[in-house]
Homo-oligomer: A and B are copies of this chain.
Amino acid sequence: MTITPERLRLYLVTDDGLTVGRPLADIVLAAVAGGVTIVQLREKRATTRHFVEQARALKAALSASGVPLIINDRIDIALAVGADGVHLGDDDMPASEARRILGKRAIIGISLGGVPENAADAIAQADYVAASPVFATGTKPDAGPALGLDGVRALRRAVPRPLVAIGGINQGNARQIVEAGAHGIAVVSAIMAAADPEAAAARLKDAVEGALRQ
């Protein structure tokens, strides 16, 4: 499947450590109401059973909105719930394996920590690319060194795929990331930890769209 650059405008990555007791699906739906265009379920500590239950609940919650559900890392979870795709990092399944298992229609995203020297196979299978991390981040302690805005510019030039940036993005720096060439921004805590996820998403979406209108 291909994915349009518009679909990446505001990409929410979940973190169940930031929900402070609120149901995950409630936060996600509020964020979608505020303008989130795509959602990734990321569960790094959950059992498979819990992960599949969360994914099924989110898939059902999102179905009316048309917002795609992407599963972090786990192709088995994506298959079990009929998710729209997977997002793969360096420690996850190779993108070529994921494509073989999931088929042509699945959305496959990959993280890149810089302009790659030997990731042609992965890029060939990827529908979009995430520049990760663009800035230092507290929600992914194993992320590599920050790419910065120059890294975003370099990836946009080098990789012929829709590009989203992730890592330390908030309302204050969203605009410059889009001006550097990203088609959209991906956030975790800027929405997940917000007291009002809908308002937080709306402000981030405004920042992205403001930069695009220039």
Contact = CB atoms under 8 A, between A and B. Distances in A.
A49 interface: yes
A87 to B, nearest CB: 12
A93 B76 CA distance: 9
A90 B50 CA distance: 10
Interface string A80-111: 10000000001111100100010000000000
A52 B93 CA distance: 7
A59 interface: no
Give the dominant DSSP class at A's interface: helix
A214 interface: no
Contact of A79 (B73, B91, B101): B101
B101 A76 contact: yes
A63 interface: no
A47 interface: yes
A164 to B, nearest CB: 21
A76 B73 CA distance: 10
A210 B7 CA distance: 65
Interface of A: 47-50, 52, 73-76, 79-80, 90-94, 97, 101
